[in-house]
Structure 1
Amino acid sequence: MGWPTNDAVIMPRPVADFVLTPTDKSALQGLLRKGTTPNRLAQRARILLSLAERVPPKAISAQHGTSVASVFRWRARFEELGVDGLVDLPRPGQPRKLSDKKVREILTLTTQRIPAEAPLGHNRCPVL
């Protein structure tokens, strides 16, 4: 008995069943219907819904432009934490110095308010 030749067919291991409860399925579909859902969260919901429809992980990864490992990662995270596990975990490193409220305030001030000392231009034209 020797090593298998290139002619040997290696069958992939069948994927374990992934079953969504009706509550989880409606929660994932709700994320997709919501217009404000971030794209990465919507992609994770689509991955899980495809798994529940018994689509092979390799086909899911090709369809969504991700790796097979990523498909299994989101499946495992969902099985462990549910829908709440689909959000990004905090990244390591220095904590933020500005709160979300302060960031919104700065963005509003810089994008919507025209300072009085601003030169005349396309944004600030006197009425003729």
Structure 2
Amino acid sequence: MLNRMKQEARRLKSQLMTLYLCAKDPRVPAGVRLFALLVAAYAFSPIDLIPDFIPVLGYLDDLILVPLGIMLVLRWIPKHVLEDNRRRAEELKNRPTNWITGALFILVWIFLAFWFFRWLLRFF
């Protein structure tokens, strides 16, 4: 069961990367590109329609809306464009991870959080 869930999570991640690449591809119709970008942004965004702290319902929107949006967009994209972007997504998946860039992003977020809390303390 756990192994199957991991496989589905990897498949979903691969589909999201393909979707993102299709959203940037000029061969995809503009309306489909916009919808693909919205689905990818919703999937990667920490903000949900139903917050995750609400039991069951919080995760239900992630389990239903994201796969449904991916399925719709993938049906609307021309097959040859979809296959090209799937190959590109596989190539990108096999690239090495840049830990230095990741660490820089984390440091920026820590700095911004620190600055925000200092700013809040002025008012209290």
TM-score normalised by the chain length of structure 2: 0.32
> Relative CO higher for 1 or 2, CA cutoff 8 Å, sep ≥ 6?
2
Larger Rg: 1
Q: Between Structure 1 and Structure 2, which shows a larger proportion of helix residues?
A: 2
